[in-house]
Structure 1
């Protein structure tokens, strides 16, 4: 008893019955349509209004600058000092309520040995706010 209108020669049918597949797809489509509005519901919560913090520390008012010159001088904010005076100045900056920033700027022909010595002093004194300044001038080093 074949359902097709053709002949029944005992061979299997080559066409797939797509009716159950379409039924399943329609059921899934209806399920998605029903569940999507549930996912878009929002719960409104009244949050407190933000207020600026009242105890913000002021920005660093002092910036100390250490410059190394080609003639092996150490300049602290423009004044020539020795290694011992540099240690003393660094110890004084640690006594401030907020540690000031220390900027290190060796000039182009400054001694590498002096640079290493000054950096060791800065490290040994426990300075935490430290930065290299003026390095962008040497961006094209060796390309001239």
Structure 2
């Protein structure tokens, strides 16, 4: 390939784009070849539409637990011992299986953290799924 300076003196300042075009074409061919290999179908099991309406049972009344400053625990306003908490929660979980009541926990500012930890541990052991914290 001959280059003509056509009366110019000094070096040529034009950029030779031929190697750039060659590299870009090679990359384009590589991407065209590898793109179908990368895509794979993902199997999904989607729910099928039904004509019957969904029946959602009404949720049971929430359980209000309160821990006061003297670390006395109350269940819906009735004082109970900390040892009675887990059996009562398990009883509620078995009575309302599949539709567990919401557990609303409130503590006084002077309550010990250990009491709250025991309440949360009992809720987890009983399988309570809906827990709310109140003031």
Give the structure-2-normalised TM-score.
0.55
Measured in 1, the distance between the counterparts of 2:115 and 2:52 equals 44
Superposition pairs for residues 13-24 of structure 1, below 5 Å?
none
**Highest RCO, 1 vs 2 (Cα 8 Å, sep ≥ 6):** 2
Measured in 1, the distance between the counterparts of 2:77 and 2:114 equals 21
Deviation at 1:53, TM superposition (A): 6.2
The residue aligned with 2:60 is 61
Stretches of structure 2 that go unaligned for 5 or more consecutive residues are: 1-50
The residue aligned with 2:100 is 99
Give the structure with higher Rg (CA).
Answer: 1
In the alignment of these two chains, the number of paired residues is: 88
Measured in 1, the distance between the counterparts of 2:60 and 2:122 equals 23
Change (3 A) 1:88 1:55: same
Give the structure-1-normalised TM-score.
0.52
The answer on 1:133 being equivalent to 2:134 is yes
The residue aligned with 2:85 is 86
